[in-house]
Chains A and B, each alone.
Chain A
Amino acid sequence: MQDQPLHEPQFALHVEDLTVTYGAQPALWDIDLDIPPGVMAAVVGPNGSGKSTLLKSVLGLLRPVAGHVRLFGRPSGAMRARVGYVPQRTAVDWDFPTTVLDVVMMGLYGRIGWLRRPGAAHRAQAMAALAELGMQDYADRQISQLSGGQQQRVFIARALVQEADLYLLDEPLAAVDAMTERVIMDLLKRLRDQGRTIVVVHHDLTTVQRYFDWMVMMNVRIIGQGPVAEVFTAENLRAAYGGQLALIEGGAVTPAPARTEPPP
């Protein structure tokens, strides 16, 4: 893998001709996508537009029908250590018998390697990540006792210990309170300012301009991508959301009420 020539290494994330299907329905159709390094990018689109599918394809969790993905010029299989993934928090059973600290240390399992147990240094790393999210007092708490916002912070701390260059987050702000949203966005901004690339599947169109500097709008196909100011237009929104959207003057928008998205 390492010997293959780099393909489009100037992009943190490069996707070309990507098509993914569930049964006969295309979930992603002919996606071409480039995200430069060091941006905070929102992936925006209506329910069922393939946002989560896109993240999973980038991570190599789904096998595409066509197309390829490159991270910093290399296939995603060769870049596992440089990618941090934050799945939707509903993806796991939070009644699993384990502690907050233990879940965060799972982010280090890839690096610790086979047959070795996590040690004091790994615990310290996990504690530091929890502290970044204001969760250090919860380290020994059972994960079944956490609120939704705390679960989300634990998942982000788990990705944070990976010290990745590219972070992929699947709806980290879904159903969290304002306080948690602020803690999470502050952290993501710090990471971006350190030169890391952040890609966030995002639902709340009212905060896109405030939080993000890059944006991908999609609905199975790519509708627009680039700096937020260029992509966040009434025309693109209409193309992505169709009739679901009540446009309020000048791009301040309210999505239609339906919010629940079936897991892909």
Chain B
Amino acid sequence: MNPLELLFQPGIVQTVVLGSALLGSLAGALGAFAVLRQQSLLGDALSHATLPGVCLGFLVAGTRDLGAILLGAFLAGALAALSVMLITRATRLKTDAALGIVLSVFFAVGVVLLTLAQGRPGAAQAGLSTFLFGQAAAILRADLWIMGGVAALASGTLAALWKEVKLVTFDPDYARALGLPVLAIEATITLLIALAIVVGLQLAGVILMVALLIAPAAAARQWVQSLGAMVWLSAAFGAAAGVTGALISASARGLATGPVVVLVASAVVLVSLVAAPGRGLVWRWLREARARRAIAGRRVLAAFQGIAEAHGDRTYPTEEGMVETLIGRPAPGVMDRLERDGFIRRVDHPPETTRHWELTEKGHARADRERGDRKP
């Protein structure tokens, strides 16, 4: 059926929007912990590793039974997480190498199984390939119940274990010293992240799912001052990216959701990295420019004071050219700003017609203070 027709039938749009909002916010909220625990790549490996599980779930059930497919995906993801742990413990390989190996081996097996499964009757209807890049329009009303259940489980767990999860995320050694069961709490967080990945596959697909986990959290970190705010904002960003991506992909024929969601989420990250107050690049540039101006102003005042002292006259009218000879031409606006702030004053010095300045008492005081600051 034509996805455009599907979209405009009553109920379909609603299902897509609801499903995408649920999945986006679930992945966004849990992604905050993945990012803060510096486990972003574990999410990537887990989501790629679910592909063989998706295919096996379909092969065993024989139809597009979301329950069977998600169970398969979850088991494959759990096996992948376990493999990463075993490889890093038993061999000399570091975590990044273990993640790379697990990701590629599981994904390769998944692609082989996918080609097998697509030869089976009913595979086209099951839309197995939609799990590769995600297809929001394929979300069924019945699927919403599964997504809602996982979202309820995740938010309930986070609410109940909030302070413990926060402490384990921030300082696991101290948490252990307080007697908290750190391993169990860490396992719970990883389990919830794996669940979010599994139910999010329909929306973003195994290849790009990690973007729904990481991008909202990375963007949210730029704007917030507390973990609670970060989780909420990350969930909101995730929902927004999910819904926008789903609607765009559902309104165009054959446009997979995953890439669109990633593009939307990346735009949010970009804006956050550049513009967020305090942490954004623009703010840093502004701060640096202000610091540069202040330094330039200080050098000019020091030069004026030096010349005035050399002449034994606190109000010695200094020709601008002298200052330029001493410290180079001040950047545009520096002299004007010093004059506006009352540190220097224009004076006439006939018969010369060039610009002359004298240092005001305020200017002397500022120059004295700067000099004092530099004393050891």
Contact = CB atoms under 8 A, between A and B. Distances in A.
Is B one of A's binding partners?
A: yes
22 contacts: A56-B173, A60-B177, A61-B173, A80-B177, A80-B178, A83-B177, A92-B170, A93-B36, A93-B38, A96-B36, A96-B169, A96-B227, A98-B166, A98-B226, A99-B225, A106-B167, A107-B178, A109-B164, A109-B178, A115-B160, A117-B162, A118-B163
A97 B230 contact: yes
Contacts of B170: 92-93, 96, 98, 103, 106
A97 B163 contact: no
Interface residues on B, range: 20 to 34
Given A91-B171, A106-B174, 4 more contacts: A87-B173, A97-B36, A97-B221, A99-B225
A212 interface: no
B287 interface: no
Closest 3 A/B residue pairs (Cβ): A80-B179, A110-B178, A85-B177
Contact of B176 (A61, A102, A114): A61
Nearest to B221: A97
B225 A112 contact: no
A56 B180 CA distance: 15
A194 B172 CA distance: 30
Contacts of B227: 96-98
Contacts of B140: none
B229 A97 contact: yes
Given A83-B177, A110-B180, A99 B167 contact: no
A109 B221 CA distance: 24
B87 interface: no
Interface of B: 36, 38, 160-164, 166-167, 169-171, 173-180, 221, 224-227, 229-230
A61 B177 contact: yes
A10 to B, nearest CB: 24
A87 B174 contact: yes
A205 B221 CA distance: 42
B167 A109 contact: yes
A150 B36 CA distance: 22
A80 B177 CA distance: 7
Nearest to A159: B174
B165 to A, nearest CB: 11
A1 to B, nearest CB: 12
A61 to B, nearest CB: 5
B226 A97 contact: yes
Contact of B174 (A60, A77, A85, A97): A85
A209 interface: no
Contacts of A114: 161, 164
Contacts of A93: 36, 38, 170
A97 B178 CA distance: 22
